[in-house]
Amino acid sequence: MSMDESEFEGTLVLEKLARIDKIDDFFEAVDSDDAQKATVLMKQAGVDELTIAIVLRKMADVDDQH
């Protein structure tokens, strides 16, 4: 299931990460701005490419605000 950014729901990503027991690793990657690790984890969890792109864009947007 893919979605556009206006329909983005981070809970779906977290649910997929929970299935592979990688939520903590994902949050560590996000907190350390490690987009590559976050991408690998999302791919392992079966997150689609469009959603991964949205998450990475949101990570970058947070960095730009600080």
Is it the case that residue 6 has pLDDT exceeding 60? no
Listed by start position, the domains of the chain span 5-65
Contact 61, 40 (CB under 8 A): no
Contact 16, 48 (CB under 8 A): no
Is it the case that residue 1 has pLDDT exceeding 50? no
At residue 39, the pLDDT reads: 98
pTM passes above 0.75: yes
What pLDDT, in 10s, does the model give residues 24-59?
999 999 999 999 999 999 999 999 999 999 999 988
Q: What is the 3-state secondary structure (H, E, C) of 2-48?
A: CCCHHHCCHHHHHHHHHHCCCHHHHHHHHHCCCHHHHHHHHHHCCCC
d(C-alpha 66, C-alpha 64), whole Å: 6
